[in-house]
Amino acid sequence: MKKFLVLLSVIIMQTVWAAPIDVNYNDGIYHIVLSGDKIKKQISFISSPTLISNKEAHYKTGAILTINAGFFDPENQKTVSYIVNDTQTIEDPVFNENILGNPILRKNLNKLLNRTEFRVLDCDGKLKYEIAQHNSKTDFMCSIQTSAQGGPQLLPNLRLEEEFFIVKDKDGNIVRESASVLQKTARTLIGIKNLPDGEQEAHIFIVTNEHPMDIYEARKLCADEGLDSAMAFDGGSSTSFNYKKINVVSTEGNSTNGRGLKSFMIINKK
């Protein structure tokens, strides 16, 4: 009887603390599914004062899973994306002098600051995922617990011009492109699937250099999975992923550490 109780206790503890993370790999793409309500409590978006690799962030925080998140300026190591953790804004692009000092960016500041973000909300004690533009208000009784801005929004609508990822001239020709949205490159994507029972799943795609995609292909990938909303985080050489023995970096060469980054999405152990 005593052995049975000990075994039952172990099973209960494993059930309580095990993170419901499903990771599959196919044809150069990692597909990560976060299921259930409990894991929402384990998600945090964090930043580093100096640029560090995804692998460094993973081991420094003791995270179960770590991916790259928002955009940043490698020149001054400051953020280009809003990051919120524990209800507090910890990274604000308004304080990046390279943005305000650039006449093109300053002219399009409203578009840049209102790019899409992934949020974990507390709605009267129940946690939920949301993908929305930064200036979008939360529903009544909801507050942002943690979030990271990236872009562009992929689903339900692709917002390339609205979020200043492309600029067109008066004839409709693209004259400016940001974040290599029109190029085939590695990508970090995140989306939400709303289930029939009212629950949600978060889906993450790590699109590696083995299967590079442009933003239209990335949107199709999310749509084919049946996601209700989706967005991109920083991609290209920033695309990074650490989980158990998996270490994905998208920089060229033989480095196993990868590029120095500013912000990360982590799944905490508890």
pLDDT of residue 137: 97
- pLDDT tier, 270 (very low <50, low <70, confident <90, very high otherwise): confident
pLDDT of residue 138: 97
What gap in Å lies between CA 238 and CA 118, rounded to an integer? 18
The tally of CA atoms less than 13 A away on the side-chain side of residue 60 is 10
Burial 202-238 (b: 16+ CB within 10 A, else e): bbbbbbbbeebbebeebbebbeebebbbbbbbbbbbb
User: How far, rounded to the nearest angstrom, does the alpha carbon of residue 265 sit from its chain's CA centroid?
Assistant: 6
pTM for the complete prediction?
A: 0.91
Q: What is the rounded average pLDDT of the residues 97-104? A: 96
pLDDT of residue 176: 96
Residue 167: both structure tokens together: 């600029």
- pLDDT tier, 7 (very low <50, low <70, confident <90, very high otherwise): very low
pLDDT of residue 251: 72
Query: Would you call the peptide bond into 152 cis, given omega within 30 degrees of 0 as the criterion?
Result: yes
pLDDT of residue 246: 95
Residue 152: both structure tokens together: 């562009």
Q: What is the rounded average pLDDT of the residues 117-124? A: 98
Closest-CA residue to 134 (of 111, 168, 154, 156): 111
Q: Is the pLDDT of residue 252 over 90?
A: no
What gap in Å lies between CA 57 and CA 235, rounded to an integer? 17
What gap in Å lies between CA 261 and CA 240, rounded to an integer? 9
pLDDT of residue 225: 98
